[in-house]
Structure formats: C-alpha cells, structure tokens
Structure 1
Amino acid sequence: MTSQPRDAPQFYLTSPSVCPYLPDREERKVFTHIVGRRGRELNEILTQGGFRRSQTIAYRPACDTCRACVSVRVLANEFEPSGNLRRVLKANADLIGNETPNRPSSEQYSLFRRYLDSRHADGGMADMTVLDYSMMVEDSHVETRVIEYRRRGIDSHITGKGAGDLIAVCLTDQMSDGLSMVYSFYDPEHQNRSLGTFMILDHLRRAKAMGLPYLYLGYWVDGSKKMAYKARFTPQERLLAPGWVRVD
C-alpha cells in the first residue's frame, strides 16, 4: 500500500455556484492546499499555471461551459503609464508604501472593515471577523508581505516610511519571477484618488526595481465591468490555450 507524501498536492473540484462576475452563469473551481516544505515552489508553479492564492489554498476557475476568466500578468520592465495613469501617480505623489511582515493589526482591520462596508457590503467577504482577517494575512506558506500606504512625512526621505493614518493596504506575494497582488483595500473616503490603480502602478515600480519581470494581477474577466480595469496595464500576457500570450 502506498500513500501520498504531505508535499504532494491533491486537487479538488467545487460544486457549481453563482458566478460573481457574469450574470446567469455558474462557476466551479479546482483547488489544492499549499502546505509543507515545497509550499513556495508549489505556489510559483501554480501561479504560473493560472492559479491564485488565498491563505493556504490555490485555486483556478474550472467552469464547464465558460472560459471568460483569464490570468493576467503585466510585463513590468516594459510598462509605461498612459496619460491617465500618470495623472493617478501625480494625484498620489504624497503617498508612500512601506513594506512590512505579514502581520495583521487593528488599524489594518479597521480600514478593511470600512472598505468592505462601503464597497462590498453584499460580497462573500462581508462577514469576515478580525480573526478571519488575521488568517488571511498570516496564513501563508510563501514569502508574503503587507504594503502599508500613508502620506509622506517630514522625514520620509530618510526613513522611507509614511506618517499619519493608514490609507491603503496590499497583501503581496514575492516569487522568483514577479510580484502577485493577493488582495488590496483602501479608505473609501479617498476613492477619488483611484487608489486601486495607484497600488498596481506602485507594484509595477517595485517589481521593476527588484529586477522581477512580472506583476500578477489575477483574473481579467471578459464581459465583466468590474474586472475591465486590468486591461489598462499593457504590455501584458494572458494565459490562453497555447500558453502565455502577449497583448499590447
């Protein structure tokens, strides 16, 4: 009798459920657990194959009749912001992101709750408690960081850190070929800043500075307005049937 070693991934398929992106459609996911000594290596292989990480689970769509969800990664070294994106950078020039270990804080959770209550009150994460949030941040077998964005202070040019209230946060995985933005949120009172877009632009800058070729953005969903923004960041590669295909 043989048994699977703990490091060997086993894959599971979810039951059909309502699609959160496209009306009158159902979604299914295939998922596995990222655990053990090979957690980081497995996460990289799966991410490069179109999976996304949530805590210790990696998943990807496995819908029976739909292929609208497409994994997207931006070519950080070649990216140049358009005029509109440069305006977003200018509007947020007073912010600075500080990289910290993946440790939750009450300040983060307070901001997270305000963001959910304002933007996703009827979403699947609406009932997350402080314990749920802590697990989302800490429960990782890969190299994960939290980027906290605050206004620049008097001594930010020396310390590299912002000052004052927390305005935005991104949970980010670092891999050998890029950064992966796992989840981001921000103060809804600053929605005119286009903070979601700004954090992508800042992560593209970070990836380029680190010599990493890609920024993984998750899924672009053809036909979904709330996922359309990901098409703005080009050149990018999309994971299609032949493999990663460049889109300019």
Structure 2
Amino acid sequence: MKILLTEPHPCSYLDDQEARTGFVDPDIEVTPALYEALNQLGFRRSGSHHYMPMCDQCRACLPSRIPVQAFRPSRSQKRTIKRNQDLQVRVEAATFKAESYELYERYIDQRHRDGDMFPASEKQFRGFLVEGSKQCQHIEFRYANELIAVAVTDRLATGLSAIYTFFDPAYDWRSLGTQAILTQLAIAKRMRLPYLYLGYYIEASPKMAYKGRFQPLEILQDGEWHQIITRSND
C-alpha cells in the first residue's frame, strides 16, 4: 500500500512543533475491510482521505478508543446525560441537508475562526462530512424539532468511529460535545459493537486531552492497545 508523506508543517495541536502526515494513496479503493485494517493501524478518515501523523521526532498523537462494555460514566457525565434527556436523537444516512450545513457554518464561524476550516463552505462540508465513505452516518440531536447538534460517525466491524461533532454554540450549557460521545457509546452498546474510536489522544493538547475523561480509555502504542488511567476533573 502506497503512503504519501507531506512536507513538514506547523503542528495544529502543539506549539513550536513540526508535523508530517501520511496519507493513503487516493487512487487506492478503500474497501470496508481495508478501512478496518487501517483503523487498527491508527489511521483516521477525513472525507475521502485516510491519514495518520508520521512526524519525524514527536509521537504525541496516540490513537484512542473506549471499550464500550467497560465504560462507566463519571458524575459529571451522568449530569450531562440528565441535562439532555429532553433531546430527540435520530441516526440518519450521511446526506447533505441545508439545516445541517447552516448549523456547521455557524459552529465554525463562532468556535473556529482561527482554524483552517474557516470560513466554512458547502464544498468543504460535503467533502469533509458527507462524502468519502458509505459507512458514514449523521446522528442528529434536536430540541423541540430544532437541529442543535450533529455527530458524524462511521460504522466499522469493531465499533463506531467518531469523525466530527458540531453544534449550536448557543447551547454550550448542554455540553453537547460530551453528549455526542455518550450517545455514540450508547448506540454502540445497543448494536453490540465493542469499541468507540475517538481519534488521537494528545495529553499535552487541551483540544485533544478531553478524551481522557472517558474511562477506561485505550491507546495504541507500538502496535498494541493499552489501557491508560488519566487524571479526572470530575
């Protein structure tokens, strides 16, 4: 399998670090079986691209997953579940909807103006969160029929893979990012899938260290999955 390696570029998560990213050759057809194999090696999907950090010196990005049956919500996570009991949750095929894009555009504009996804565009949204995999689903969260959050997730043989979540910043008090993970865990449990894959855990990055609040958490190091214990702020 051919891997294309980028030139060094500034790291998005750690200051004063250079990053390099390896991409699976886009001419290769990524079948469900190959997707699963790539996932077990630590690759992630973004649109039609499958990638993994391949930095020269740093190894801070650690693929992470939650064993669904072993997961137990913390006190604060239980409060989040209770807080959001009035939401309607619906799993839909990954298709373009104007209301979903409008929500995404508002989220990027208010939460990520300093990031490389700003400004949002319909083309970007389609390429990132609609197209790229037939295994992709959108989990919609509605309050009084208003769409307030969407969790984009892939169905794999060994679990769900959390791709991205966006929500209405006006509902910050609901902790919708946390609720999205808790809902994906509940769905995976109902489907009897063993894992929820969360992407890269980076202990030194506030943007990525939140994954350690979901226990037990497993990380991939040297080709093996290991359980880690992280400090709780509960």
Same fold (TM over 0.5): yes
Say if 1:206 and 1:22 are closer, same or farther in 2 by CA, change over 3 A.
Answer: same
Which position in structure 1 is the counterpart of 2:210?
229
TM-score between the two structures when normalised by the length of structure 1: 0.88
Matches within 5 A, 1:125-140: 125-140=117-132
Within the alignment, does 1:103 sit opposite 2:95 as a pair? yes
Say if 1:38 and 1:32 are closer, same or farther in 2 by CA, change over 3 A.
Answer: closer
Identity fraction in percent: 41
Q: Distance in 2 between matches of 1:78 and 1:224?
A: 26
Q: CA deviation at 1:10?
A: 1.9
Matches within 5 A, 1:167-182: 167-182=148-163
Which position in structure 1 is the counterpart of 2:228?
247
Say if 1:42 and 1:142 are closer, same or farther in 2 by CA, change over 3 A.
Answer: farther
Say if 1:116 and 1:38 are closer, same or farther in 2 by CA, change over 3 A.
Answer: closer
Q: CA deviation at 1:131?
A: 1.9
Within the alignment, does 1:208 sit opposite 2:178 as a pair? no
- Given that 2:109 and 2:120 are in contact with CA atoms closer than 8 Å, whether structure 1 keeps it comes out as no
Counterpart residue type for residue 26 of structure 1: E
The aligned length equals 229
- Given that 1:145 and 1:172 are in contact with CA atoms closer than 8 Å, whether structure 2 keeps it comes out as yes
- Given that 2:150 and 2:166 are in contact with CA atoms closer than 8 Å, whether structure 1 keeps it comes out as yes
| Bigger radius of gyration | 1
Q: Deviations over 1:13-68 (max 9, x none)?
A: 00111111111001101111467665211111111111100111110100111011
TM-score between the two structures when normalised by the length of structure 2: 0.93
Unaligned runs of 5+ in 2: 230-234
Q: CA deviation at 1:107?
A: 0.4
Say if 1:93 and 1:120 are closer, same or farther in 2 by CA, change over 3 A.
Answer: same
RMSD value over aligned CA atoms? 1.5
Moved more, 69-78 or 220-229: 220-229
Unaligned runs of 5+ in 1: 1-8, 152-162
Say if 1:36 and 1:19 are closer, same or farther in 2 by CA, change over 3 A.
Answer: closer
Q: Deviations over 1:50-106 (max 9, x none)?
A: 110011111010011101110100011111101111001111111122111110111
Counterpart residue type for residue 229 of structure 1: Y
